[in-house]
Structure 1
Amino acid sequence: MRRTSDETKAIILAAARERFAREGYERTTIRGIAADARIDASMVMRYFGNKERLFTAASDFDLKLPALADLPREQVGRLLVEHFLDRWEEDEALMVLLRSGVTNDDAAERMRSIFARQLWPVAVELDGDASSAARRAGLAASQILGLALCRYILRLPSIAEMSRDEVVEWLGPTLQRYLTEEAA
């Protein structure tokens, strides 16, 4: 049975996301991805050229941040925690980036770029001050990424065993403070 070009690319990307998420960037090989996709490694190279370009395609990620202007300002922190819990749990691409970002400079830069490009405008929208927005977005990202690392990658029992509501109760006020309150 012959596949279309789009179907083949989708199969390769799915295999790449799983492999990068499981093994990280450094340990993942084109041959391993090809074996997972049940295709020849030359097909992976044909569609993506090299491991770096395949990683870029596999880690293309939209945070899908909600429009915060329509939300009650005092609920922004809680709503963002809920949103990010959903994103971590539904899309493997962000897990690929997190796992790979701790060992690979290119993956770390990709993660920085995604969070800067997508979270910074949220901080500007909430604060109105572009000069402090990068710091606010960075602090919010530190909490979001730290939570994901501890809950989903390292699986620290005290964090992994928390209910969704507990995570929101603990982390929501911190994000709220970072994004909307005056600095101490």
Structure 2
Amino acid sequence: MTSGQAAVPAPVRSDTDPGGPGTREPRTGDPGTGDAGTGRDAILRAARRAFTQRPYADVTIRGIAADAKVSPSLVVKHFGRKEELFNTVADFGPAAAELFDAPLPVLGRHMVVTLVRHRRTLQSDPLLRVVFSLGNRDERSLLRDRFQEQVTDALAARLTGRERTLRAELIAGHLIGLGATLGLHRSGAGADATPEHLADLYAPALQALIDGS
């Protein structure tokens, strides 16, 4: 965090996950968003764009509200202060819990199927927003810290055998790469493939890292 700025409080749990490059951001009220006219999901999408693409000090509640097409008071009603909204955006815990919720012998396949289904159901990617924080030294670096703690370290703690941290880092890279590829080629062959077929092709490399083989 840069000098002179208030400390960012402990993370607040989020019930949605971020969009990434190439993903369509559904507008408020779209089927499947769970927004139902409240504006909450639109605010989250706008906040993700703001905090991952601009320095923290440049982001304002008013600017997020304008992007989300809601009033600033509605942003405050749903999320409180800017620091609390930032913490919601920076929380990878729920996504990691879902991605890692399978026994180790089938975890690779579970992660691929879960990630693809998440993208298609919610029109967003659970991990890709961390990419926007790379190379930044302001509060956006907190995204990397949270990703390390909530995704990479959490996965490493589940693995067995040697080089668990290295293997967890490589697995995280595979998952981010899958999301980026599906976003880049969103009208390509992957868009027509089932999650299960994508897992047939992609999961073996993940599983080899999980097994340590």
- Structure-1 residue corresponding to 2:143: 110
Cα shift at 1:124 = 3.6
1:64 is aligned to 2:91: no
Where in structure 2 are there 5+ consecutive unaligned residues? 1-34
- Structure-2 residue corresponding to 1:101: 133
Where in structure 1 are there 5+ consecutive unaligned residues? 1-9
1:40 is aligned to 2:40: no
1:77 is aligned to 2:114: no
Whether the 8 Å CA contact 1:21–1:95 is kept in 2: the answer is no
Q: What's the TM-score, normalizing by structure 2?
A: 0.58
Q: What's the TM-score, normalizing by structure 1?
A: 0.65
The answer to which structure has the higher helix fraction is 1
User: Which of 1 and 2 has greater Rg?
Assistant: 1
1:1-184 matches, cutoff 5 A: 11=38, 13-21=40-48, 25-26=52-53, 30-35=61-66, 36=68, 38-40=70-72, 44=76, 48-50=80-82, 53-61=84-92, 62=94, 63-65=96-98, 66-68=100-102, 71=103, 73=105, 75-90=106-121, 92=124, 94=126, 97-98=129-130, 100-101=132-133, 104-105=136-137, 106-107=139-140, 109-129=142-162, 132-152=163-183, 155=186, 157-182=188-213
Cα RMSD (Å) of the superposition? Answer: 3.8
Instruction: Note closer, same or farther for the CA distance 1:99–1:117 as it changes in structure 2 (3 Å cut).
Output: closer
Cα shift at 1:173 = 0.4
Whether the 8 Å CA contact 2:112–2:195 is kept in 1: the answer is no
